[in-house]
Amino acid sequence: MKTIFDRLRANEEVAMNDPDYGLIGASVETTMRLNLKLNNAQDLDEARHYLSEIIGTVVSKDTTVFTPFYTNFGRHIQLGRNVFINHACSFLDLGGIVIEDDVMIGPRVNITSENHPIATSTRNTLIPQKVTIKKGAWLGANVTVLPGVTIGEHAVIAAGAVVNKNVEPKSVYAGVPAKKIKDLE
């Protein structure tokens, strides 16, 4: 039988009255305690150590995470090698966030893999949708990436953009909502 976390990772909708929904809250509290330690780390090695505890796998030595960093769950974040995460980023990862190798993430970037229906009758349902940031992508300062989006290899997202649709590889996107403004060579 699949756990609620398996169901979320499989991007199955989960109502807040689901009998297992309380398990999410307990896990979030564990992550909050670890996040406090992460955000009080004295150096990058200590920050990597606590981020490794949060996500449940070893964070590569060539990955940099500047604090503060926030996540609500953490176990559904996958980090590649040589990833750079700047200050004050927030990842809501119940639906899954995959960050491949050589990705650069600017300050105050928000990535969310979670949503809710608009209809008031079903709004208490969590809709998880995995976000994937492909190899070599660069997200500028204050970018927001919404659920279900894939950002293509070596794409650039301009500062302040809100990405609500998939991004082509080797291209630059900007604006709210983000639109392609040019191709990269």
Contacts 24+ apart (CB under 8 A), 104-107: 104/137, 104/138, 104/139, 105/133, 105/139, 106/138, 106/139, 106/140, 106/141, 106/142, 106/143, 106/159, 107/66, 107/141, 107/142
User: What does the radius of gyration of the chain's CA atoms come to, in whole angstroms?
Assistant: 16
Q: What are phi and psi of 162, to 5 degrees?
A: -115, 110
Q: Which amino acid is at 95?
A: G
Choice among 76, 87, 116, 154 that is catalytic: 116
pTM reported for the whole predicted model: 0.96
Has 116 been annotated as catalytic?
yes
CA distance 133 to 130: 10
- What is the number of domains present in the chain? 1
Per-residue pLDDT of the chain (185 residues; tens, 9 = 90+): 899 999 999 999 999 999 999 999 999 999 999 999 999 999 999 999 999 999 999 999 999 999 999 999 999 999 999 999 999 999 999 999 999 999 999 999 999 999 999 999 999 999 999 999 999 999 999 999 999 999 999 999 999 999 999 999 999 999 999 999 999 98
**Domain containing residue 120:** 4-183
Q: What is the CATH number of the domain that holds 16?
A: 2.160.10.10
